[in-house]
Structure formats: C-alpha cells, structure tokens
Amino acid sequence: MKFIKQKFTLFFLVFLLSFYAGSAQGVTNIYINPNIGNDANDGSKEHPLRSLPAASRLVNESEGENGVTIFLSQGVYALMEPSTFHPTKRKFTKQARLTIRAEVLPDDPNWNTGSMPTLIHTMPLSDDWMGVKDPFGGGMYGMKIETSHITIQGLKILGAPVIEHPEKGKIIRVYPITRPNADLDDLEISQCVFAGDEVNAPNHLGIIANGTGIVVDHCIFYNLKQAIVYWSRKSTGHVMRNTLIYGGYGCGLWTSAIANDFVFENNVIANSRYAWISQLDRDQGQQEAAGVEKKTKEPILYQVNNSLIAGNQKLTGTGGGPQLNFKDIDPILLKFNNTKITDQTIELDYNQESRNFLHPKEGSEAAKIGVGLFKKK
C-alpha cells in the first residue's frame, strides 16, 4: 500500500511538471484578474494570474512560434515591479505577435468608462535610467519592452502617487511604457488612456521608445508632463493618428530627429505648454535652434494632416531632459495640411457615465477630427 501511494505521488509530480512545462511551451492566452487571481496559477481563464509582472515572466519562459495574448480583466493593478517582456526562446512576428489588452475593448457594446483595466505605479524607485545611473533621483518603469511585434490595447495607465520635485535637483519620474533598444521594431499602442495629475499622481512620460515602427492610434493622453517621445534619430515607420493630447504641462509630442515618413494625421494637441518639441537633427536644422548661419540642406519636414492644434502656450520648441530645458523655435520642421492652429482651447466631456468621458465635446470642432478611443463610428 505504501509503495502504491509513493508511486502515485511520483506520478502526480511528474504530471504537474509536464503540465507546467507544456503550458510554458504552448501558451497562447494568458488571463489576469487582480480581484480573484493568484500568481501561483497557470494563467488560464479558469485560474488567472493576479499581476502583469507574473504574466511577463510566463511569456519570457515560454517557447514556440505562435502569438500570445494577455487579457487583463477590469480592476486596479498596483504595479509593484516592472513588467519586462524579453522572451529568449520565442520570436514574435508581425502576424504572430504579443498582445497585451483589456478583456473588453472600447468598441464593444458592453464597454463603459469603468471597464478599462487601470494600472498605477507603486514600485520602488530605480536608479537605472536606460542603462546608465539615474542623475535625477530615480524613476518607475511600468512595461519594459525588449522584443519586437507588440500591441498594447485598451488599458488605462496612471502615474504614481508621489511628489515629482521633493527637493532641489530631484525629479521623480514615471515611465509607463519604455523600449530602449534601437534595434527593435513594431510597437503599437491603441485605444489606451494615459492620465496623470501634477499634484497627486504625476505621469512623467507615457511612451518613450527607441527603434522603428512605433504606432500610436486612437489614444488619449490627459494631463501628462509629456505624452510620447519618438526617440531614435532617423528611425522610420512611425505613426500617430486619431489621438488626443490634452494638458501636457511639459509638452505634447516630442520627436528626436526621426525620419520624415512620420505619419501624423487626425490628431488634436490642446492646452499644453508646448505642442511639439523637436530635438533637431545635427545635420539638418540644428542651426535654426542655435541661431547660426543657415546651412544649405533643408530640414526634415513632417506633414501635419487634418489635425487641430488648440490653446497651447507655445507651438514648437527644442531642447530636452526631465528639467524641461526647452526654448522656442519657429515651426520650420512642420508643414500644416488642412490643420487649424488656434489660441482657443477645447472643451472635454467630463461626465463619467458618458462613453465619451475625456473626449472632446460631441459636435465640437475637435470631435469632428475623430480623436479618441473608438475606431467604429
């Protein structure tokens, strides 16, 4: 009897090991629920994980060639550590990609303003800043992207309940989505809300990404210090469309001398300190900011199509850094096509029961641009 019991126990352990190994190899869907999940679970719909970092570890340990989708249930996710996506035994492709998304997306008829999984940063400060020692006292990193072909969709991403400038020379920063590797490609952020509050929960910079193919589509950036930095000089394949940037107390959009194939269409940048910051190419246009004799080469020119630039303190500037060392420049890098620039700000819908919460007021000039979370009319 004892022998049979030992044999059964051994068989059961082998079964469990093979089950989890199989899960890691063949994983296609991972479910997270902050209310009923447990990070000791296998991540199935019946046995969800509790946290995004646990899901990232499951992805990183997995093998295979198929795509993987992480589904986040409605609820609040306190991010106690970064979620680093760096699989070494699985290679995603444009078709078989890694998708990190809400279970219910904005175009679903059952969606409401409370449906969005809400991420807030509560982890300890890191003294590492993109591979070097942090010179400003520390930052928080939400999702660290270290692989190509990723979609992030339908999430609400908040800052951190910290004081941004607790003492002279110190700037506490939150970076919800970072991609430091310039060799990576294809990062799509769609139907997400990035929100902050300079006093209670500052959100320093929603997206900062090196590499190519950064697509921001149907997103809302509300009261961040800076919305997004397209970071790699002369990188290609970048897009921003149908996106609202509102209340950037540093700036709205920041381009770091990316290539002139940048697609910028159907966007609204409103009520920000600067609408657009450009770290100019040293070879093309830097002389304008430096006030020296103009070179013969034409600056990189970005087409600004069917958009609205409204109620910003400044239109364009250059410079950089968390200290906001910006200075004004003429909009020499921008060509405006069917785009209105006005000192008048826009009105937003602040009715939390409305599907259009944080969208431009219905029927307004800004609303007609088509910005916001909804892809279906």
Q: Are residues 107 and 172 in the same domain?
A: yes
* Domain boundary pick from 206, 238, 270: 206
Q: Are residues 120 and 199 in the same domain?
A: yes
- For residue 128, the tally of other CB atoms under 10 A from its CB is 11
The b-or-e profile of 245-258 (16+ CB within 10 A means b, else e) is bbbbbbbbbbbbbb
Q: Is 5 exposed, middle or buried (0-12, 13-18, 19+ CB in 10 A)?
A: exposed
Is residue 344 a part of any domain in this protein?
Answer: yes
> Count of alpha carbons within 13 Å of 370, Cβ hemisphere only?
12
Is residue 20 a part of any domain in this protein?
Answer: no
Is residue 175 a part of any domain in this protein?
Answer: yes
Is residue 245 a part of any domain in this protein?
Answer: yes
* Domain boundary pick from 206, 237, 262: 206
Q: Are residues 169 and 269 in the same domain?
A: no
Number of structural domains (the chain) is 2
Q: One-letter amino acid identity for 24?
A: A
Q: Is 219 exposed, middle or buried (0-12, 13-18, 19+ CB in 10 A)?
A: buried
Q: Are residues 283 and 316 in the same domain?
A: yes
Q: Are residues 170 and 55 in the same domain?
A: yes
Quick check: pTM over 0.75? yes
Q: Are residues 49 and 195 in the same domain?
A: yes
CA–CA separation, 147 vs 178, rounded Å?
11
Q: Are residues 52 and 147 in the same domain?
A: yes
Per the listing, tokens 């993109």 go with 130
DSSP 113-176: TT-S-EEEE-SPPBSEETTEE-TTS-EEEEEEE-SSSEEEES-EE---SS-S-SSTT---EEEE
Q: Using CA atoms of 255, 327, 169, 142 in order, give the dihedral in degrees to the nearest 10.
A: -20
Is residue 164 a part of any domain in this protein?
Answer: yes
Instruction: Extract the tokens encoding 253.
Output: 């959009």
Q: Are residues 34 and 164 in the same domain?
A: yes
Q: One-letter amino acid identity for 127?
A: D
Strand pairing category for 68-72 and 128-129:
unpaired
CA–CA separation, 109 vs 112, rounded Å?
8
Domain that holds residue 88: 27-206
Per the listing, tokens 């950036």 go with 221
Is residue 363 a part of any domain in this protein?
Answer: no
Give residue 230's pLDDT.
95
CA–CA separation, 151 vs 26, rounded Å?
20
| φ and ψ at residue 51, rounded to 5 degrees | -135, 155
Give residue 25's pLDDT.
54
Q: Are residues 171 and 246 in the same domain?
A: no
Give residue 347's pLDDT.
98
The b-or-e profile of 87-122 (16+ CB within 10 A means b, else e) is beebebeeeebbbbbbbbbbeeeebebebbbbbbbe
* Residue-by-residue pLDDT tens, the chain, 377 positions: 444 444 444 444 443 433 343 344 567 999 999 999 999 999 999 999 999 999 999 999 999 999 999 999 999 999 999 999 999 999 999 999 999 999 999 999 999 999 999 999 999 999 988 778 888 989 999 999 999 999 999 999 999 999 999 999 899 999 999 999 999 999 999 999 999 999 999 999 999 999 999 999 999 999 999 999 999 889 999 999 999 999 999 999 999 989 999 999 999 999 999 999 998 754 344 444 444 454 445 667 899 999 999 999 999 999 877 888 899 999 988 999 999 999 999 999 999 999 999 999 999 999 999 999 999 87
CA–CA separation, 219 vs 194, rounded Å?
8
Give residue 129's pLDDT.
80
* Domain boundary pick from 206, 240, 272: 206
- For residue 69, the tally of other CB atoms under 10 A from its CB is 16
Q: Are residues 256 and 196 in the same domain?
A: no
- Beta sheet of 185-190, edge-to-edge order: 29-32, 68-72, 98-102, 150-153, 185-190, 212-217, 239-241, 263-265, 302-305, 334-337
* Rounded to 5°, angle at Cα 149 from 148 and 151: 125
* Rounded to 5°, angle at Cα 79 from 211 and 60: 55
Helices 2-26 and 52-61: angle between axes, nearest 10 degrees = 90
Q: Are residues 340 and 201 in the same domain?
A: no
Is residue 329 a part of any domain in this protein?
Answer: yes
Is residue 168 a part of any domain in this protein?
Answer: yes
Give residue 281's pLDDT.
57
Q: Are residues 86 and 171 in the same domain?
A: yes
| φ and ψ at residue 153, rounded to 5 degrees | -145, 130
Q: What 3-state DSSP class applies to 44?
A: coil
Give residue 130's pLDDT.
75
